[in-house]
Amino acid sequence: MRGGVIGIIAVITLTLLVDNALLYQKHRFHALVLAPSNFRVDTEVQKRLLSKGIQFVTYDVGEPISYEMLKLFHFVVLIASGDLAGFQTPYFVPTEFVVRYLNGKRNISELLRYVRDGGGLFFMVSMTGAGQETAEGCEELLQPLGIRLLAAQVRDDAHSTCNGEYAWTTNIAKSPVTVGVKRIVYPTNMLRWDDAYATAPFVLESKEWQPIVKGMPESVAARG
């Protein structure tokens, strides 16, 4: 029933648009109808539209479109329904998750702009579960800066302390921020089964980065 109602609305919309437009122009109109995949137009209605100079193409609204594609048509009819992702919250995803996701994308864009304009940014990650998803979620921010975050734990059994829950490093470069620093101790415990890591390693893919603290040569990136 919903598909039938959608079909009627689309046909009325197309007819009204073209009836008004034909008052000013006499050539054939090409229309793009963005609709759910189950959308169909009745044969008789299709003939009526063609007689009025309307030639239309239907396209699944859930598939990607481009600006160049839209420019091929005189006008577009968008049929928004529950099948159109982005116009409403998905059925099984809480609204707050969607809002947080959209806010996050905007915040990342603003942060990158801030850094490009000379602002300083300190980044750290709290990988207390779902480590792989956390690492992938950070890619949009870190990749443009030439950094990659691994879902792993820095471990060093040769330099461990506190019953193996911590390790230490003296591999510290000279820098204004390391003056007087002799040793850094970091947690090495691998928490839950779902990639919960206390000290996640970074991969500096851009040569412009100069690391000031590294693990000792015996340190490794471990998962488990």
Higher-pLDDT residue of 35, 222: 222
Distance CA 72, CA 22 (A): 19
Amino acid at 164: G
Cα-to-chain-centroid distance, residue 189: 30
**Hunting for tokens 């009204």 — which residue is that?**
16
Q: What is the mean pLDDT of residues 45-66?
A: 82
- For residue 110, the surrounding DSSP H or E stretch is helix 95-116
Per DSSP, the three-state class of 147 is strand
Q: Please report which confidence band the pLDDT of residue 144 belongs to, taking 50, 70 and 90 as the band edges.
A: very high
Q: What is the mean pLDDT of the chain?
A: 78
Residue 23 has pLDDT above 70, yes or no: no
| Contact status, residue 29 vs residue 74, Cβ threshold 8 Å | yes
β-pairing, 160-161 vs 29-35, is: unpaired
Side-by-side strand order, sheet with 184-187:
160-161, 166-169, 184-187
pTM above 0.85, yes or no: no
Q: Quick one: three-class SS letters along 169-219?
A: ECCECCCHHHCCCCCEEEECCECCCCCCECCCCEEECCCCCCCCECCCCCC
Cα-to-chain-centroid distance, residue 115: 20
Q: What is the mean pLDDT of residues 83-100?
A: 62
Partners of 204 in the β-ladder: 147
| Contact status, residue 219 vs residue 156, Cβ threshold 8 Å | yes
- For residue 20, the surrounding DSSP H or E stretch is helix 2-21
Q: What is the mean pLDDT of residues 37-58?
A: 84
Q: Let me know how long the chain is.
A: 224
* CA dist 75 → 10, 17, 65, 167, 200 (Å): 13, 9, 14, 64, 51
pLDDT in tens, 169-180: 999 999 998 999
Higher-pLDDT residue of 22, 146: 146
Higher-pLDDT residue of 36, 81: 36
Percent of the chain exceeding pLDDT 90 equals: 27
Q: Is 139 left (phi over 0), alpha (psi -120 to 50) or beta?
A: alpha
Nearest in space to 31 (alpha carbons), one of 42, 46, 44: 46
